[in-house]
């Protein structure tokens, strides 16, 4: 139990509240103790207990000093399109079978290799769509494809904590860039 709590993911914000990365709770706690970060949100009621004290497990912490970070962009690759869409066909919603990457507007019709024109599609949907736009094929996308947020990408294996939402929506620097 202690092991899993100490490894829980914490959203680390820069001094200007911009999301920086995710870290293990263990690291966030060290930053708090060293006075290098402040608690912004706690994880719902979860506590960390040591021999003589108990304190709230952090969910969001903010660095006291601004840290310069290199621009982080998710590389546009087949694999990353499929990861962004969580291995779910964006037409029928299936998550079974090997997934392909579909150009919403086909290359032959001038569709480009961009986050907003590529979606994860099962082989069946990709085949039946063929060289047509989704509209022409009478197929509807589950959602409009967008560039992935860097943080959401890091958190692809599990749910994004509700405490993180206010900060992730500010994530224009990482998530807003189109390729």
Query: Which of the residues 76 through 105 are near Zn ion (CB under 5 A)?
Result: 89, 91-92, 94
SS3 134: coil
Supply the minimum distance, in Å, between the C-beta of residue 36 and Zn ion: 47
Q: Which long-range contacts (CB under 8 A, 24 or more apart) does 49-57 make?
A: 49/2, 57/5, 57/8, 57/25
Kindly indicate which of the ranges 40-48, 58-66, 122-130, 149-157 contains the residues binding Zn ion, using the contact rule CB under 5 A: 122-130
Q: Shortest distance, CB of residue 119 to Zn ion, whole angstroms?
A: 10
Least gap, CB of 87 to Zn ion (angstroms) = 11
Residues 5-44 that bind Zn ion (CB under 5 A): none
44 bridge partner residues: none
Give the residues lining the site for Zn ion (CB under 5 A): 89, 91-92, 94, 122, 125
């Amino acid at each position: 139990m202690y092991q899993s709590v100490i490894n829980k993911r914490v959203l680390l914000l820069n001094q200007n509240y911009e999301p920086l990365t995710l870290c293990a709770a263990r690291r966030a706690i060290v930053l708090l103790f060293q006075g290098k970060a402040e608690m912004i949100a706690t994880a719902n009621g979860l506590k960390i207990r040591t021999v003589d004290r108990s304190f709230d497990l952090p969910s969001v912490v903010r660095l006291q000093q601004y840290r310069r970070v290199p621009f982080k962009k998710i590389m546009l690759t087949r694999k990353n399109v499929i990861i962004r869409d969580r291995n779910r066909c964006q037409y029928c919603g299936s998550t079974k079978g090997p997934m392909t990457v579909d150009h919403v507007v086909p290359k032959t019709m001038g569709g480009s290799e961009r986050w907003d024109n590529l979606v994860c599609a099962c082989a069946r949907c990709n085949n039946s769509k063929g060289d047509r736009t989704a509209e022409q094929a009478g197929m509807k996308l589950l959602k409009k494809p967008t560039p992935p947020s860097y943080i959401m990408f890091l958190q692809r294996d599990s749910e994004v904590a509700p405490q993180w939402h206010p900060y992730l929506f500010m994530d224009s620097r990482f998530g807003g860039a189109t390729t």
